């Protein structure tokens, strides 16, 4: 068999394997519809395994097709895969939470509803949802079942379960608000990942230029004994300092450690272990503060004393799901138990702002406290989202400009002498 034929077959296999896998997945979706396959459908299971095997095989072959670009292609593929898995998991949890709220509001059997709809879910969400249905069918209350099988629902579900853990009833939002996520805007993790990707790409590009590309151009200039322009000489001097001072080795070590950390984070989040959750909770504390006010609105509608609500959110299991808010909640709980007004207790620990207290006091006197708490919660979340979008926009544009200026400097410094050399030779 001739070499061109072998090359053509290899390219066909590399491109055709993942494409065939995607087509099989799409065909299964069209044939089985939204409800999915029935339990024990071996044909669907076998075709699904075949499709994923073809997709993974194609991705592996593409990654190793080129030694130069294999790492980059693998990183892009892993990033896209993780983004897809996280988005799918988030959507399934929101769907499960909306389904549970609808069943609670209308008095339907939760276990039967989950049994009918479980084919819509997959992975850890489906496993915990089946465990949740089993727990409820065996007589456990809804709040405790939500707390035990927490991975079947979004994080804010733990706060709702904490409010209702004393009386065993799960509070629901009015007007089908449970079908909307607490914060439908992109999460803090997505923002940080995007900024990190821009920064790492810039660092890789600059490091590659300094270590491998610039020395080749330097040797060309030395071979022809060229008089270099000031911009070129400055760039070569900076490169020499970069390599001679050990910064190049330091950059390589840092990038290697960063790649190892990224690999660990990839597998952690793929296995639903959010190791950076504590950091993102602190960065997104304003959004969690808005979530807390939304829970207080639910408690106000239920007529639950706020001192008791703060105790339910701060102590026991389940509780408010944000770790960095636990100590402020416990302090406000003790202050409210000693007779301090709940609004002042929350303001002392930073969970309410002092300028927000007059609005809540007026709403409390006019019996509009739930509305005021929800309006304030929505305002806080929207303002936090706008602030983070501004930060991301400025940081992304700034990083792009810096990388672009470095690339422009490289192009001008390296190609100006070459153009002059070609002109002289001509």
pLDDT tens-digit map of 150-164 = 999 999 899 999 998
**By the 8 A CB rule, do 153 and 146 touch?**
yes
Q: Is there a single domain that holds both residue 61 and residue 91?
A: no
Rounded Cα–Cα distance for residues 375 and 49 (Å):
48
Structure tokens at 381: 């979340």
Identify the residue whose tokens are 């944000």. Answer: 322
Q: Is there a single domain that holds both residue 92 and residue 146?
A: yes
| 61 within some domain | yes
User: Which band of pLDDT confidence, cut at 50, 70 and 90, is reported for residue 199?
Assistant: low
Q: Is there a single domain that holds both residue 326 and residue 360?
A: yes
Model pTM greater than 0.85?
no
| 392 within some domain | no
Q: Is there a single domain that holds both residue 379 and residue 292?
A: yes
- Sign, Cα dihedral of 50, 56, 60, 62: positive
| 361 within some domain | yes
| 299 within some domain | yes
Range of the domain at 136: 86-168
| 401 within some domain | no
Q: Is there a single domain that holds both residue 313 and residue 355?
A: yes
Q: Is there a single domain that holds both residue 129 and residue 45?
A: no
Least confident of 205-219, 353-367, 384-398: 205-219
| 393 within some domain | no
User: Which band of pLDDT confidence, cut at 50, 70 and 90, is reported for residue 371?
Assistant: very high
Classify residue 351 by its DSSP letter.
S
| 33 within some domain | yes
Q: The domain that contains 357 carries what CATH number? A: 1.20.81
Q: Domain ends where: 104, 135, 168? A: 168
Give the pLDDT of residue 183. Answer: 45
Most confident among 30-39, 232-241, 268-277, 397-406 (mean pLDDT): 268-277
Least confident of 39-48, 143-152, 265-274: 39-48
Q: Is there a single domain that holds both residue 117 and residue 164?
A: yes
Number of neighbours of residue 182 by Cβ within 10 angstroms: 21
Q: Is there a single domain that holds both residue 101 and residue 58?
A: no
Q: Is there a single domain that holds both residue 42 and residue 135?
A: no
| 151 within some domain | yes
Q: Domain ends where: 132, 148, 168? A: 168
Please give the average per-residue pLDDT across 129-139, as a whole number: 89
Structure tokens at 407: 């690339």
Closest to 229 in 3D by CA, of 26, 418, 30: 418
Q: Is there a single domain that holds both residue 90 and residue 50?
A: no
105 against 17, higher pLDDT: 105
Rounded Cα–Cα distance for residues 279 and 265 (Å):
14
% of the chain with per-residue pLDDT over 70: 84
Q: Is there a single domain that holds both residue 104 and residue 61?
A: no
Enumerate residues 6+ apart whose C-beta is below 8 A from 318.
143, 144, 146, 147, 150, 158, 159, 161, 162, 165
Q: Is there a single domain that holds both residue 288 and residue 374?
A: yes
The domain tally of the chain equals 3
């Amino acid at each position: 068999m001739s070499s061109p034929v072998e090359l053509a077959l290899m390219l066909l296999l590399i491109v055709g394997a993942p494409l065939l896998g995607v087509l099989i997945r799409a065909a299964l979706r069209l044939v089985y519809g939204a409800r999915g396959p029935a339990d024990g459908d071996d044909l669907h299971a076998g075709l699904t395994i075949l499709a994923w095997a073809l997709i993974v095989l194609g991705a592996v072959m593409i990654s190793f097709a080129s030694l130069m670009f294999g790492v980059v292609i693998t990183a892009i593929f892993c990033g896209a895969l993780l983004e897809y898995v996280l988005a799918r998991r988030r959507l399934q949890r929101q769907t499960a939470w909306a389904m549970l709220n609808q069943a609670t509001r209308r008095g339907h059997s939760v276990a039967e509803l989950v049994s009918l709809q479980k084919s819509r879910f997959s992975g850890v969400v489906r496993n915990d949802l089946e465990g949740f249905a089993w727990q409820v069918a065996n007589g456990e209350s809804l709040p405790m079942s939500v707390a035990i099988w927490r991975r079947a629902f979004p994080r804010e579900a733990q706060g709702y379960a904490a409010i209702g853990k004393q009386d065993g009833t799960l509070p629901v939002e009015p007007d089908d608000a449970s079908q909307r996520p607490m914060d439908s805007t992109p999460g803090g993790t997505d923002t940080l990942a995007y900024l990190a990707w821009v920064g790492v790409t810039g660092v890789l590009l600059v490091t590659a230029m300094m270590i491998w590309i610039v020395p080749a151009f330097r040797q060309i200039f030395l071979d022809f004994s060229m008089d270099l322009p000031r911009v070129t000489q400055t760039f070569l001097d900076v490169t020499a300092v970069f390599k001679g001072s050990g910064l190049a080795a330091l950059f390589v070590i840092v990038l290697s450690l960063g790649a190892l950390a990224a690999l660990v984070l990839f597998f952690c989040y793929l296995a639903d272990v959010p190791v950076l959750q504590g950091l993102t909770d602190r960065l997104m504390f304003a959004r969690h503060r808005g979530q807390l006010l939304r829970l207080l609105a639910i408690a106000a509608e239920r007529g639950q004393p706020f001192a008791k609500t703060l105790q339910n959110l701060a102590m026991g299991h389940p509780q408010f799901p944000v770790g960095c808010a636990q100590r402020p909640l416990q302090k406000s709980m003790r202050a409210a138990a000693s007779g301090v007004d709940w609004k002042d207790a929350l303001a002392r620990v930073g969970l309410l702002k002092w300028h927000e207290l007059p609005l809540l006091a007026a709403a409390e006197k006019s019996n509009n406290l739930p509305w005021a708490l929800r309006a304030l919660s929505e305002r806080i979340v929207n303002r936090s989202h706008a602030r983070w979008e501004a930060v991301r926009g400025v940081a992304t544009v700034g990083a792009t400009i810096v990388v672009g200026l470095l690339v422009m400097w490289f192009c001008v410094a390296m190609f100006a002498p070459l153009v002059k050399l070609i002109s002289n030779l001509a």
